[in-house]
Amino acid sequence: MNRIQPRRLVRQIGFLGVAGAAVVAALAGCSSSKSSSSNGAYGFPEAEQRKDSAIIVWVDSTRVPAVKAFQEANPSIKVKTVTYDGSSNGSNSFKTKMALYDRAGKGWPDVVFSSQNNDASWATRGTAGGQAFAARLDKGLIPSDTLSGFTPGALNPCTVDDKVYCLRNDLSQTVLWYNDTLLKQFGYSLPTTWEDYQALGEKVAKEHPGYIVGSAGDTFTPEVLMWSSKCQANDVTGPKAVTVNTDSAECKRMAALIDKLVADKGMTPLSVFTPEFVKEYTGKVLMMPGPAWYAGAIFNNPESLNVPKGQMGVAAPLPWKGEDAVAGNVGGGTWFLSSHSANLAAAAKFLEYVTTADAYQVDEAPGYPAYASAAAKWVSKQEQSGYFTTDLSALTAAAGKVWDGWGYPSYSQEAIWAKTMTPLLTSGKSIEDNLGAWGTAIKDQAQVAGYKVND
Amino acid sequence: MSTAFAADRRDVTRSARSSRLTGWSGRSLIGLVLAGATLFFVIPLLWLLIAVTKTEHELAVRSPFALGSWDTFKANVQQLFEFQSGAVVGWVGNSALYAFAALVITLVISIPAGYALALTEFRFRRLLMVTTLVVMLMPNTALVLPVFLEMNQVGLVGHALAVILPFSFYPFGVYLTYIYFSTSIPRSLLAAARLDGCSEVQVFTRIALPLATPVVALVAFFSFVQNWNNYFLPFVMLPSSDSYPMQVGLSTLLSATPAFNPSSAGSGSVHLPALALATIVSMLPVLILFLFSQRFLVAGMTAGGLKE
Amino acid sequence: MIELTTVRSAGSETPSRPAAGGGREEQARMSNSRGTRQTARSRSIGPLFITPYVVFTLAFGVIPGLYAVYLAITDAQGGFAPTANFARVIDDFRFFSAARHVAAFVVIWLVALVVLVVLLAIVVHAIRVRWLSSTARLFFYIPGALAGASSVMLWLFVLDPVASPVGPLLRALGFDSFPSVIQPSHLPLIFAIIAFWTGAGGWIVVMYGALNNISTEIMEAARIDGASPVQIALHIQLPLLRKWIAYMAVLSLAAGTQLFVEPSLLSQASNGVVPNDYSLNQLAYQYAFDLNDFNGSAAISVLLLVVALLLSAVFVAKGGLFETEDA
């Protein structure tokens, strides 16, 4: 570099800079926001409608049967399927791709399935002053009796400012799973409150070491335990406002329960998806508070615990003494309709079909449907398999009891718990003592995401 | 001690013709280091190979090196290739298409460019070299959006070219070629060719290019590998799943694995051994290419080449 | 072909390099003195050969880079805001811990890479048996073919003391579960190990070739003079590899500051226990695609670029990198 003539190089750089700036200005121009036109009949500015255009549907691989079912029932509607990762595992692909399309001004699909349930927090707000991606559904696109046919509370993740922007695919309400055979074998009775549960857990740890009554090592542990204890860690009060109070009595009581049971080894700090869990606890799970999909993912799964037929039962979620029981919720996907769609009628029909039709939700869906009548039929179908010793009415009861004080902000509560609290659990520290740290982490993340933290 | 050692050495080297290491203490030291390094690099891969013969349950409970069964292996193969009706095959095909097409364009652009930088004179030569260096240091994250907007302006988003064209920009390849040409081709050779009446193009095609085979192989290989393994650019540019390359397809596969994504527990779910198999499938073409081009790679290095 | 390379290689590694490097003017004079009217560098074909590359550089290098800088100094509506974005990202509660993580990683990574790659290259080079040498190089390179999403599952198992092929080693170190292995204090080392595992093989191949470049006469002469293998390595091979090591350091430094893949891998494998904003590059990604704040993201990228440039300049100067170039 010794031989570079500085002046010449500087001149060349200057020339390059000017030329580059011109192109950059052109690029910058194309990312400017679209001028907003007036709202259409459905409550948002509509794109030009073309009645017979094909609709582009984004689904994850588990929901492909839904599209196929729709195509069989509606052969005249043209559907193009795109499979993607469903925005799962923290990939945020749904949000990422829509942000890119917003910048480009074109390219949005008509229908998107997301395995996350907090997408309404960003999809209902336009980026850089542009139009919001999610189309409003409750102003005529979806009939109101369909909307009211969902289990009460199922559409909470989709509702912003009392307007509905998506349809819920499935619910993941938490219930109390238990091994009836083991329970009878040990001579215990099913607990009816959290206090009883804690006492039972301590007893099991003493009398039958190696057996567990629950697990606390998953990223969704706060949604199973803290949510159903009415802990105010995630109280979303407005589109961009949240109240975080992790030091409340409700949070403390559940934290104390977790601490005591983990210390006594009645509850495991391992995640249920690790090899260690499978190795250590096959045949040793006495009971487990957990979401509805534990049935197929953990118990009735040869790759996991593989509990034999006729042993597992389901009980309603537990209350704290003197209170009503509430359930938590771990997941449940949502279907969105694009406000930029050129064929709103077909897309709306698709949305309605995949969330309510028996041909998919009852016959093929792996999870508890969010639509109430489909759910009832799905439950009887599962009962017919004869795997459970009890009926599944607890599932139905819990579905309507999901506590609405835990919201769906744009940041991930699971991620915050995983990086702040799970390491504490696995290294034997106390959750109760560190509730403040948890609260601080949530508040920091909320503020970065643009939320106002209420005092 | 060193003199005694040196005396031993001299005795041994008198009979040794090569410059390689001889002597038992030297050999055992080499052997030890080599064995240790080989174990470090190979053990995880060995595990991966064995993992495709087991079920997910066996992965958790059995010993890591215990072999599974042939039947389980066949079941895993079937599960992988049934996923979305054989999407894996499409992914591999797409990866091959993008990587090869980009490779061809890369070579067409980079080799002449390196030659020009090394052996010709033109106005912005030094600026271009500084720019190339700076561009190589830029974080990828920052470049995604502008490239996406550019591709969108020319209407290429969703088309294979939206992936192939950015892939073909390979400054490391140009730098490599530049260094090779500037250190390994004597200018007197080119001058002699010109004296003999060759035009500039002929000097390049008849003299320089045949001598540049090693660096061509080098640039081709590294460009191919980098593009084969690229996830983010295809993810951004390609909305349609049948145009996904292998790396993006793997993320779809990952999201259908209940171990990483609990909500995917269901009939179409994929289990860990099938994921391991997909990993091996994604590696094979690169390995085959490496084996094939080993000769050129080593020879290319000899003449002063450089890896990215 | 072979003759050319050996002739060249003897010259290219010696300290005096007027013929190999910047003596263009001398060469021009030399060829002029032979009576030709042409300069050693032809002027006519250069622009033609370079134009396609220039177009690509502008399209995919310069313009995106300038756009990123433009984003970093403007706000979301396009108004001029030279410091707002930088202030905002530095104020982020994750910024300094991310910076510390990257710094810790880069230190471990660079030291390990430079020392171990050179050591392994010298060792591999010293193998006499040809098939053994190329097999070793193949084994070292294979992990490099395994990139990104593929390895999530691999590392989930390898780092789990219960199911890992190196389980006994992990248990001997006192870890009995996956969470105990991925504790925050271990992460820089783990990422360095993963990065080394995938990246070292390619560099070993490069260094091996560079070692091939060293003429055998010099090595023989040293041996005859009584130098031990270690002394040969230290006093002959290493100094001649100085520029290669500097190149490796510069490029690995750039890659290291842009740490992204390894933490993302473990973040997926651990379902979030390793956060997805562990490194600065990941933070930039989160800003762009989670918070939809492209300006903040660009600000972080510009900061990373500046740091990489500064540090590279140090290596460039100390390694005498640009002495090889005809800049």
Q: In chain B, what are the domain boundaries?
A: 30-68, 87-303
Q: What band does B266 get if pLDDT is binned at 50, 70 and 90?
A: low
Q: A142 φ, ψ to 5°?
A: -115, 130
Enumerate residues 6+ apart whose C-beta is below 8 A from A71: A77, A79
Q: Give me the half-sphere count of Cα atoms (radius 13 Å) on the Cβ side of residue A17.
A: 8
C-alpha angle C152-A123-C93 in degrees, rounded to nearest 5: 60
Residue A10 and residue C56 in contact, taking contact as beta carbons nearer than 8 Å: no
Structure token pair of residue B38: 């080989």
C294-318 vs C84-91: helix crossing angle, rounded to 10: 90
User: Per the CB < 8 Å rule, is A412 touching C163?
Assistant: no
Q: State the alpha helices, DSSP H only, in C13-74.
A: 24-33, 46-57, 63-72
The DSSP bridge pattern shows strands A241-245 and A232-238 to be antiparallel
The single-letter DSSP state of residue A432 is G
Q: What band does B10 get if pLDDT is binned at 50, 70 and 90?
A: very low
Structure token pair of residue C235: 């006093």
CA dihedral A302, A306, A309, A310 (to 10 degrees): -160
Q: What is the DSSP string of C87-139?
A: HHHHHSTTHHHHHHHHHHHHHHHHHHHHHHHHHHHHHHHT---HHHHHHHHHH
Give pLDDT, residue B304.
Answer: 38
Check whether C314 has a pLDDT greater than 90: no
Q: Give me the half-sphere count of Cα atoms (radius 13 Å) on the Cβ side of residue A433.
A: 7
Question: pLDDT tens-digit profile of C249-273?
Answer: 888 888 899 998 889 888 888 888 8
Q: What band does C30 get if pLDDT is binned at 50, 70 and 90?
A: very low
Q: Out of A69-78, C23-32, C239-248, give the one with best mean pLDDT.
A: A69-78
Which chains share 3+ C-beta pairs under 8 angstroms with A? B, C
A446 and chain C in contact, CB less than 8 A: no
Proportion of chain C above pLDDT 70, given as a percent = 83
Residue A336 and residue A363 in contact, taking contact as beta carbons nearer than 8 Å: no
Residue A171 and residue A370 in contact, taking contact as beta carbons nearer than 8 Å: yes
From A27, A279, A448, residue closest to C162, measured CB to CB? A279
- A411 CB neighbours in chain C (<8 A) are 290
Indicate the range of B13-27, B221-235, C84-98 predicted with least confidence: B13-27
Q: Which residues of C touch A (CB under 8 A)?
A: 22, 58, 62-63, 66-67, 70, 76-78, 92-94, 157, 160, 162-163, 177-180, 183-184, 267-268, 270-276, 288-292, 322, 325, 327
Structure token pair of residue A426: 């696995």
Q: What band does C320 get if pLDDT is binned at 50, 70 and 90?
A: low
Work out the average pLDDT over B158-170.
Answer: 91
User: Per the CB < 8 Å rule, is B268 touching A4?
Assistant: no
Closest-CA distance, B300 to chain A, in angstroms, reads: 26
User: Per the CB < 8 Å rule, is A333 touching B148?
Assistant: no
Give pLDDT, residue B24.
Answer: 67
Indicate the range of B38-52, C71-85, C121-135 predicted with least confidence: C121-135
C-alpha angle C297-C300-C302 in degrees, rounded to nearest 5: 110
From B138, B213, B251, residue closest to C305, measured CB to CB? B138
Enumerate residues 6+ apart whose C-beta is below 8 A from B73: B52, B53
- C179 CB neighbours in chain A (<8 A) are 217, 269-270, 422-423, 426-427
B205 and chain C in contact, CB less than 8 A: no
Closest-CA residue of chain C to B42: C139
Enumerate residues 6+ apart whose C-beta is below 8 A from A340: A47, A108, A131, A133
Closest-CA residue of chain A to C70: A24
3-state SS assignment for residue A152: coil
User: Per the CB < 8 Å rule, is C66 touching A129?
Assistant: no
CATH class of the domain whose range is A55-171+331-370: alpha beta
Q: Write out the H or E segment, with its range, that includes residue C307.
A: helix C294-318
Check whether C302 has a pLDDT greater than 90: yes
- C60 CB neighbours in chain B (<8 A) are 143, 147, 165-166, 169
| Two domains, one topology: A55-171+331-370 and A174-328+404-454 | yes
**Backbone dihedral region for residue B50 (phi beyond 0: left; psi -120 to 50: alpha; all else: beta):** alpha
Question: pLDDT tens-digit profile of C107-159?
Answer: 999 999 999 999 999 888 888 787 888 888 888 888 887 766 667 888 888 99
Owner of token pair 């002449």: B112
User: Per the CB < 8 Å rule, is B122 touching C50?
Assistant: yes
Give pLDDT, residue B286.
Answer: 82
From A89, A100, A330, residue closest to B148, measured CB to CB? A100
Residue with the bigger pLDDT between C255 and C279: it is C279
Owner of token pair 């997805």: C276
Q: What's the CA gap between A115 and A332, in Å, rounded? A: 6
From A103, A279, A366, residue closest to B145, measured CB to CB? A103
Question: Distance between the two ends of chain C, CA-based, in angstroms?
Answer: 27
Q: B51 φ, ψ to 5°?
A: -60, -25
Task: Estimate to the nearest angstrom the gap between the alpha carbon of A29 and the chain centroid.
Answer: 37
How many contacts does A have with B, using Cβ atoms within 8 A? 138
How many other CB atoms sit within 10 Å of the CB of residue A76? 6
Environment class of C215 (CB within 10 Å of its CB; exposed 0-12, middle 13-18, buried 19+): middle
Closest-CA distance, C191 to chain A, in angstroms, reads: 17
Q: What's the CA gap between A210 and C147, in Å, rounded? A: 40
Q: What's the CA gap between A4 and A10, in Å, rounded? A: 10
Question: Distance between the two ends of chain B, CA-based, in angstroms?
Answer: 43
B24 and chain C in contact, CB less than 8 A: no
3-state SS assignment for residue A88: coil
Closest-CA distance, A434 to chain B, in angstroms, reads: 27
**Backbone dihedral region for residue A283 (phi beyond 0: left; psi -120 to 50: alpha; all else: beta):** left
Residue C218 and residue C161 in contact, taking contact as beta carbons nearer than 8 Å: no
CATH assignment, B87-303: 1.10.3720.10
Per CATH, the homologous superfamily of domain A174-328+404-454 is Periplasmic binding protein-like II (3.40.190.10)
Greatest Cα pair distance, chain A, in angstroms, is: 90
Q: Which of A153, A368, A327 lies closest to A226, judged by CA?
A: A327
Closest-CA residue of chain A to B60: A275
Q: Out of A72-81, B119-128, B251-260, give the one with best mean pLDDT.
A: A72-81
Closest-CA residue of chain B to A302: B57
Closest-CA residue of chain B to C196: B41
Residue A280 and residue A304 in contact, taking contact as beta carbons nearer than 8 Å: no
Answer CATH for C103-278 from 1.10.3720.10, 3.40.50.2300, 1.10.3080.10, 1.10.10.10 = 1.10.3720.10
- C23 CB neighbours in chain A (<8 A) are none
User: Which mean pLDDT values do the consecutive 10-residue runs of chain A (455 residues) have?
Assistant: 54 65 63 59 88 92 92 94 85 88 89 93 84 93 94 93 94 95 95 96 95 94 95 92 95 96 94 87 95 89 90 95 94 93 94 94 90 94 91 93 93 92 91 95 94 90
User: Per the CB < 8 Å rule, is B157 touching A86?
Assistant: no
Domain assignments of chain A as residue spans, ordered by start: 55-171+331-370, 174-328+404-454
Give pLDDT, residue C52.
Answer: 93
User: Per the CB < 8 Å rule, is C67 touching A90?
Assistant: no
Closest-CA distance, A349 to chain C, in angstroms, reads: 30
Give pLDDT, residue C313.
Answer: 83
Residue A293 and residue B262 in contact, taking contact as beta carbons nearer than 8 Å: yes
A276 and chain C in contact, CB less than 8 A: yes
Q: What band does B9 get if pLDDT is binned at 50, 70 and 90?
A: very low
Q: State the alpha helices, DSSP H only, in chain B.
A: 2-15, 24-51, 56-61, 70-82, 87-119, 125-136, 140-153, 161-168, 171-184, 187-195, 200-202, 209-211, 213-228, 232-237, 246-255, 272-302
Residue type, B159: H
Q: Which of C70, C92, C90 lies closest to C82, judged by CA?
A: C70
pTM recorded for the entire structure:
0.84
**Mean pLDDT estimate for chain B:** 80
Give pLDDT, residue B2.
Answer: 41
Q: What's the CA gap between B21 and C217, in Å, rounded? A: 14
**CA distances in angstroms from C118 to A96, C13, C141, C180, C315, listed in the order given:** 41, 17, 15, 32, 17
The residue length of chain C stands at: 327
Closest-CA distance, C185 to chain B, in angstroms, reads: 22
Which residue of C60, C70, C102, C240 is the best one to mutate when testing the B interface, meaning the one whose CB has the most B CBs within 10 A? Answer: C60
Closest-CA residue of chain C to B251: C149
Work out the average pLDDT over C186-192.
Answer: 94
Give pLDDT, residue C241.
Answer: 79
Q: What's the CA gap between A247 and A440, in Å, rounded? A: 11
3-state SS assignment for residue A242: strand
Closest-CA distance, B274 to chain A, in angstroms, reads: 13
Q: What band does C75 get if pLDDT is binned at 50, 70 and 90?
A: confident
Work out the average pLDDT over C23-30.
Answer: 39
Across the beta sheet with A452-454, what order do the strands follow? A232-238, A241-245, A452-454
Closest-CA distance, A72 to chain C, in angstroms, reads: 35
Residue A236 and residue A122 in contact, taking contact as beta carbons nearer than 8 Å: no
Q: What's the CA gap between A156 and A400, in Å, rounded? A: 12
Give pLDDT, residue C33.
Answer: 41
Residue with the bigger pLDDT between B231 and A315: it is A315
Q: What's the CA gap between A148 and A164, in Å, rounded? A: 11
Q: Write out the H or E segment, with its range, that includes residue A98.
A: helix A93-104
Indicate the range of A229-233, C31-35, C84-88 predicted with least confidence: C31-35
Q: Which of A176, A162, A161 lies closest to A213, judged by CA?
A: A176
The DSSP bridge pattern shows strands A452-454 and A241-245 to be parallel
What ipTM goes with this model? 0.84
User: Per the CB < 8 Å rule, is C50 touching B117?
Assistant: yes
Check whether C41 has a pLDDT greater than 60: no
